[in-house]
Homo-oligomer: A and B are copies of this chain.
Amino acid sequence: MRRTSKERLAEKIACFGNFGADERGGITRLSLSPAALDACAEFRRRCVDLGLAVRCDDMGNIYAVKQGAEDLPGPAMGSHADSVVNGGNYDGMLGVLAALEVLETMVGDGISTRRPVSAVIWTNEEGVRFPPAMMSSGVLTGKFDKSAVLAVRDSDGVSFGEALSAGGRQGDRAARLSPATCTAYLELHIEQGPVLDESGESVGVVQGVVGMCNYTISVFGQAGHAGSTPMSRRRDALYAAAGIIRRLHDELGRIEGGPVFTCGHIECRPNMHTIIPEEVSFSLDARHRDPDVMRRVVGVIAALPREPDGCRVEYREEWSRKTTLFDPALAAVVKRNADALGYANRFMFSGPGHDAQYVQDMLPAAMIFVPSIGGRSHCPDENTSLDDCRNGADVLLNAVLELADAQ
């Protein structure tokens, strides 16, 4: 079995952690921002130094290719370089650096393969500056209309298309990842949850991404002065919404199979301490791999009381996605190599979405998770031990080499 270099990987993680380091101890590297462009430029420079061909497609995705002995399609690996606001140093970037370390190991150890091996950086996975998330892999796989996403504007009024051009990232459509050039896609990513950290396993063999739904639940009451409206006359939208949030948690928590669910966003109008809330809206995000469980989640929402506490309740599905199942044969390759390396591992599903779930629609795809200490992510103390980073990179290296020599 081959091994990557712990020292080189440590240097990469430290170096790329400078791109977008913010004053709050975290990483703020929004897509196509100067920090993100600098990080991609550093990736490109390092790949060129390794003698690799580097290209950019029309969605700004960057590819570094190590040629194989034969002119055949080959495996690709990668992740994204953008972050959320005040996020951590591992989400996305670790997968990019592990792919870079794999290529550097192949070059350094003089490993040649039958098929080419590629590393890819996906543009705008987080979707924070330009919604939606996973924008560029979504366009490549037909999820989103290219002209529509090019027109999406950030809070400063800059469109995604303008940001691509300004960043010199509007490349060649012919460079896109496709079945013509690629046989399989592997993405290494932090788990963003506590499962591996608590089990003490180094590697998660990801079989798929759970289905999810996202609803907005709105409660309509009546405004009134806090000092002069008798309690018996009130239709307080926040009081009613609080009851619905508690009821949702309690009832969703009783669903067999255990979906995860979150009310993470709430808006209150007029949101003044002297005015009875007139309208409160909040989000419900629920996820599970089993469609039957998701149907029961929707059933709980549909069964919400429509007129609690004198208020009126409406709900609206904002969007949903079905469970994505990764290629079982490819996941088996990952599992086999993790076992061969002697790294404790388990099959698991991803709760968060990843570019790999879109790629799966056109290519065999799978993911490699590494532990998130304390399950923390999207925050400055997001962290993964260097040993786990290296172990994940080793699994990626050996899996990719197996795929690159496949008949």
Q: Which residues of A come within 8 Å of B, CB atoms? A: 191-195, 210, 212, 214, 223-231, 233, 236, 238-239, 241-243, 245-246, 249, 253, 258, 260-266, 268, 271-277, 282-283, 285, 287, 350-353, 375-379
Question: Which of B229, B245, B260, B275 has a CB less than 8 Å from the CB of A229?
Answer: B260
Number of copies of this kind of chain in the complex:
2
Beyond contacts A192-B228, A193-B229, A224-B377: 5 other A-B pairs, Cβ-Cβ < 8 A, are: A210-B227, A226-B261, A228-B260, A228-B351, A242-B242
Q: List 22 A-B contacts (CB under 8 A).
A: A193-B230, A194-B230, A195-B228, A223-B376, A223-B378, A225-B352, A226-B287, A227-B287, A227-B353, A229-B260, A239-B245, A242-B242, A242-B246, A246-B246, A262-B273, A262-B275, A262-B276, A264-B268, A264-B272, A265-B272, A265-B273, A273-B283
Question: Which of B193, B228, B263 has a CB less than 8 Å from the CB of A352?
Answer: B228
Take A227-B210, A230-B194, A351-B227 as given contacts and tell me if A277 and B264 are in contact as well, using a CB distance cutoff of 8 Å: yes
Q: Which residues of B contact A241 (CB under 8 A)?
A: 242
Pair A377/B228 contact, Cβ less than 8 Å: yes
Pair B274/A264 contact, Cβ less than 8 Å: yes
Q: Which residue of B lies closest to A216 (CB)?
A: B273
Take A228-B191, A262-B276 as given contacts and tell me if A245 and B249 are in contact as well, using a CB distance cutoff of 8 Å: no
Q: Which residues of B contact A253 (CB under 8 A)?
A: 231
Q: Which residue of B lies closest to A191 (CB)?
A: B228
Q: Which residue of B lies closest to A268 (CB)?
A: B266
Take A264-B273, A271-B266 as given contacts and tell me if A238 and B230 are in contact as well, using a CB distance cutoff of 8 Å: no
Pair B214/A260 contact, Cβ less than 8 Å: no
Q: Which residue of B lies closest to A265 (CB)?
A: B273
What DSSP secondary structure best describes chain A's contact surface?
Answer: loop
Question: Which of B249, B265, B277, B375 has a CB less than 8 Å from the CB of A268?
Answer: B265
Distance in Å: Cβ of A92 to nearest Cβ of chain B: 13
Distance in Å: Cβ of A28 to nearest Cβ of chain B: 13
Pair A258/B231 contact, Cβ less than 8 Å: yes
Distance in Å: Cβ of A233 to nearest Cβ of chain B: 6
A233 to B258, CA, bound (A): 13
Top 5 A-B pairs, shortest CB-CB distance: A227-B351, A193-B228, A273-B283, A226-B262, A228-B351
Distance in Å: Cβ of A95 to nearest Cβ of chain B: 16
Pair A351/B225 contact, Cβ less than 8 Å: yes
Q: Which residues of B contact A268 (CB under 8 A)?
A: 264-266
Pair B242/A262 contact, Cβ less than 8 Å: no
Take A225-B192, A230-B195, A352-B228 as given contacts and tell me if A275 and B271 are in contact as well, using a CB distance cutoff of 8 Å: no
A353 to B273, CA, bound (A): 14
A223 to B249, CA, bound (A): 17
Q: Which of A262, A353, A378 has the most CB of B within 10 A?
A: A262
A214 to B272, CA, bound (A): 12
Q: Which residue of B lies closest to A271 (CB)?
A: B265
A58 to B347, CA, bound (A): 75
Distance in Å: Cβ of A18 to nearest Cβ of chain B: 24
Q: Which residue of B lies closest to A276 (CB)?
A: B262
Pair A377/B227 contact, Cβ less than 8 Å: no
Pair B239/A275 contact, Cβ less than 8 Å: no
Pair A231/B246 contact, Cβ less than 8 Å: no
Pair B266/A274 contact, Cβ less than 8 Å: no
Distance in Å: Cβ of A377 to nearest Cβ of chain B: 5
